[in-house]
Structure 1
């Protein structure tokens, strides 16, 4: 259906925040059905909202096909500005809600699992001591999800692996750690101080979701050797990885800082790896530093000042 085009000025007051959110969800999902599901309304209601939005703009916003929807040139323009607008309105609502509940600000961070092993607990402890009135909202997600949350304004900051696409985002290093091999103390490889990566690949592994930045890194290194890492068990946390290794279900490769507190109590030892790039960086990602809220800006400054762990 073609949307009538009009030369009349667009009435800014007629833009509906809910419809803009629905539009962004639809574009991100690539489907009006999926967008409606994410927004929590029926497909018929979503179609009506999109038709009204297109009529108001005076141009088609979505190009529809059997494979889903993509934004038209007008839709791309709306998407770019709607991301900014929705993000700013949500930040405003959160900030005002914080004051209603007696807090002095709201820090929203989405981060990958590696960040929860060492960087975030120690950095947030320091941050909270300096800013006790600021409420912290954390989400444990994949690096790509964290980066997308920042790009769409859902979160202000993301902590991600350095092999994560960051187009349109500004990043700064926030922690560097070493990947190590985790093995039971009685394992044949435990007698070596350094284990060849190819030798480790002869054994089963305990890993995380294959789409995590850590597992992608290991899988790529195995592929470069013409090998495949056999993940016998997949879990969602480093704590669970350590416990599965302790139970004899496989070996694991994880950051030293995350494994070190757990290994001794579980009868595990850490061994260096040869043949794998073990230096791993976490990045702090943001959209536009100048538009960060005061709590987010204070967190970035803490990291830059070197008061956060590296």
Structure 2
């Protein structure tokens, strides 16, 4: 029987960092230790487990099948210990819980501030740890246990995670005042692709949806500028660098302030669905469960559609 006392948290965290980085050197740098010290710890971990955990090549390292199993369980252990540390911090600060979530720009620039304001009013002693992240980054954070919840686009793969629909919005075209399309009540989506566009990064779920819309009308988008936030998108539109397709709730925040006009899009599905993703609902903290219940309560009241599924 393996000696559990010989597993130490430092070596497990280092091992996860090395596997995630795909390099012993990069993992050591990310972890803040020397290459020699990292190599020694990994060798001791392999000796203790009695199997090779890493396959070493000239291009870096990858986890063996046994290493992948250890990697998965190490992430679980580290996540649980981090939750324990946060719980102790909450005891000391007088907080009654800690809500850890990340959200994509559509959520941060749209419905989420309203939801979190209601949550904070209902649970004033819960500390809210919110991180702005693209959907794919949010999924990885939940899978690794760094965050309990993530608001993501429904067009991003999230295998193994449970999801709840938390918001539905519609995409609109945002143009400067005085633009040729500014006076139109609605325009065909193909007309948007006659102009330069301002978008988020190509990996963002919203940009993927825009690209899918372009494919549907057999057009190639002319992306002139890519930024990391809706604020940046709207300021680029106001400066005349292109048009933007974004959720109506976010567009409304900036339209009046920056002299922009929202134009309804036709000819393609413009519904934008956001999901609240979690690993397993049964393992959520009380603070995270409370947020899920709030969102489901809004769904029951007709504010958002009541839908939940387990991703395959």
TM-score by length of 2: 0.93
Alignment of 1:53-202 (within 5 A): 53-202=45-194
The structural deviation recorded for 1:135 is 0.4
Q: In structure 2, what is the equivalent of residue 257 of structure 1?
A: 249
Listed as ranges, the gaps of 5+ residues in structure 1 are 1-8
| Correspondence for 2:279 | 287
The alignment status of 1:205 with 2:197, answered yes or no, reads: yes
Q: CA deviation at 1:248?
A: 1.5
How far apart are the structure 2 equivalents of 1:297 and 1:97?
20
Aligned counterparts of 2:148 and 2:32: Cα–Cα separation in 1: 24
SS at match of 1:305: helix
Cα-Cα RMSD: 1.5
The 1:276–1:41 alpha-carbon spacing in structure 2 relative to 1, beyond 3 Å, is farther
1:31 alignment counterpart: 23
Distance in 1 between the 2:130 and 2:152 partners?
A: 13
CA positional deviation for 1:258:
0.5
Question: Which of 7, 14, 32 is the aligned partner of 1:15?
Answer: 7
TM-superposition CA deviations, 1:57-115 (whole Å, max 9, x none):
11111112223222222112212211211111110111111111121111110111111
Equivalent position SS for 1:84: helix
Counterpart position of 1:220? 212
Paired residues of 2:19 and 2:27 also in contact (CA < 8 A): yes
Alpha-carbon distance in 2 for matches of 1:84, 1:50:
19
**Which shifted more, 9-18 or 218-227?**
218-227
Give the Cα–Cα distance (whole angstroms) in 1 for the partners of residues 194 and 39 of structure 2: 54
Q: Which runs of 5+ in 2 are unaligned?
A: 305-312
Tell me the secondary structure at the aligned position of residue 260 of structure 1.
helix
State how many pairs are aligned: 302
3-state secondary structure, aligned to 2:254 = coil
In the other structure, the counterpart of 2:309 is none
Look up the match of 2:307: none
- Which aligned segments of 4 or more residues in structure 1 are displaced greater than 6 angstroms? none
Aligned to 1:6: none
What is the distance in 2 between the residues matched to 1:167 and 1:119? 25
Q: What per-residue deviation string (whole Å, max 9, x for no partner) do you get for residues 254-286 of structure 1? A: 000001122123221111112332101111000
1:5 corresponds to? none
Q: What per-residue deviation string (whole Å, max 9, x for no partner) do you get for residues 238-263 of structure 1? A: 12222221221111000000011221
Q: Distance in 1 between matches of 2:163 and 2:35?
A: 38
Q: Deviations over 1:158-211 (max 9, x none)?
A: 111111111121111100010000011211112221111111111111111121
The 1-side partners of 2:240 and 2:65 are apart by: 55
From 244, 248, 256, the equivalent of 2:240 is: 248
TM-score, normalization: structure 1? 0.93
Map Cα deviations across residues 206-231 of structure 1 (whole Å, 9 max, x no partner).
11112111112212322343322112
C-alpha separation in 1, matches of 2:8 and 2:90: 24
Quote how far apart the aligned CAs of 1:233 are.
Answer: 1.9
